[in-house]
């Protein structure tokens, strides 16, 4: 359980205690990813990983109101998920020895921990803000297998490689092809087509993906590299910055790092290479 550095009044941080203080963000990320981020490291990434903690808060809000657990208890379950190659049923059996006695709340706690850790809409929360259907994680399934199955490549990969041009960017897709871009913090939504294929959804949480690259994660390195949206310029992207401003006017946030990634090299622009790592060809910014 976290104890406030300012007083002993907040010895139990319940899910209603938002926003999360900077030092708490630092401890949460270090705990989840096994890192040693300093306060400077934290603030250097998307102003303290603001976009990620928006997602974090949304998952708490979507959980049952009676799930009154601390941030530390959720982190402890994430540690269990990382260390135990076990089925969901086995993990819940282990948690029965905790202070949470109701079976449905144990299930919700595991779901919350998995969502927070992997940024995937695993399981179902009635109050969830994500438009995607929850990824099914059955009692006899292992979380790593669920993630691997969700991002497995199609069996029918293209026989002939097709090289995408440097101009194949999200900006040009919107400007020239008339396909609108929407943004998501849910990996399950990435590259989904919406509204009669007139809108494509892109995952923007690049800062947290960089942490997954450095830590123990069921997200493969190949998948993470495919998800890190490349910039055709390799420098701050004005088009993306305009998108950020649009979202800010709606009091929503996009991860600033999504517009700062490097560009795809010639080999990485092969559709077949990209298809191995995701369900669809990737676009750049």
Query: Is residue 191 helix, strand or coil?
Result: coil
Structure tokens at 233: 């310029």
State the Cα angle at 223 between 219 and 229, rounded to 5°.
120
Give 205: exposed, middle or buried? Use CB within 10 Å, 0-12, 13-18, 19+. buried
Mean pLDDT of the chain: 77
The SS3 call for residue 64 is coil
Phi first, then psi, for residue 212 (nearest 5°) are: -60, -35
Three-state DSSP state, 142: strand
> What whole-number distance in Å separates Cα of residue 163 and Cα of residue 165?
6
Question: Distance between the two ends of the chain, CA-based, in angstroms?
Answer: 41
pLDDT reported for residue 128: 55
State residue 90 phi and psi, 5-degree precision: -65, -40
Band of pLDDT at residue 272, cut at 50, 70 and 90:
very low
pLDDT for res 261: 59
What is the reported pLDDT for 153?
63
Higher-confidence residue of 278 and 214: namely 214
Across 149-153, 208-212, 218-222, the highest mean pLDDT is recorded for 208-212
Please tell me which residue, 194 or 166, carries the higher pLDDT value.
194
Q: Which two tokens stand for residue 94?
A: 């282990």
pTM greater than 0.85: no
Whether the per-residue pLDDT at 142 is higher than 90: the answer is yes
pLDDT value at position 27?
A: 92
Are 185 and 54 in contact by the 8 Å Cβ rule? The answer is: yes
Q: Using one digit for the tens of pLDDT, what is the confidence trace for 247-263?
A: 888 888 888 888 775 44
């Amino acid at each position: 359980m976290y104890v406030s550095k300012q007083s002993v009044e907040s010895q139990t941080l319940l899910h209603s205690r938002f926003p999360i203080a900077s030092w708490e963000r630092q401890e949460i990320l270090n705990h989840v990813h096994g890192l040693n981020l300093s306060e400077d490291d934290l603030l250097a990434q998307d102003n303290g990983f603001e976009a990620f903690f928006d997602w974090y808060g949304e998952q708490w809000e979507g959980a049952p109101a009676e799930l009154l657990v601390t941030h530390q208890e959720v982190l402890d379950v994430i540690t269990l998920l990382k260390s135990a190659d076990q089925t969901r049923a086995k993990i819940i059996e282990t948690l029965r020895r905790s202070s949470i006695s109701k079976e449905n709340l144990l299930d919700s706690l595991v779901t919350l921990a998995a969502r927070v850790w992997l940024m995937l809409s695993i399981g179902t929360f009635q109050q969830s803000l994500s438009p995607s259907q929850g990824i099914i994680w059955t009692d006899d399934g292992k979380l790593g297998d669920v993630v691997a199955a969700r991002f497995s490549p199609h069996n029918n990969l293209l026989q002939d490689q097709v090289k995408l041009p440097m101009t194949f960017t999200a900006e040009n897709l919107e400007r020239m092809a008339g396909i609108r871009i929407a943004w998501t913090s849910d990996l399950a939504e990435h590259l989904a087509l919406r509204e009669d294929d007139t809108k494509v959804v892109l995952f923007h949480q690049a800062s947290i993906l960089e942490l997954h690259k450095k830590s123990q994660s069921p997200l493969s390195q190949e998948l993470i590299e495919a998800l890190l949206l490349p910039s055709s310029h390799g420098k701050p992207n004005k088009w993306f910055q305009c998108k950020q401003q649009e979202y800010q006017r709606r009091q929503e946030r996009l991860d600033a790092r999504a517009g700062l990634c490097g560009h795809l090299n010639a080999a990485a622009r092969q559709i077949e290479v990209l298809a191995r790592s995701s369900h669809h060809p990737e676009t750049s910014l």
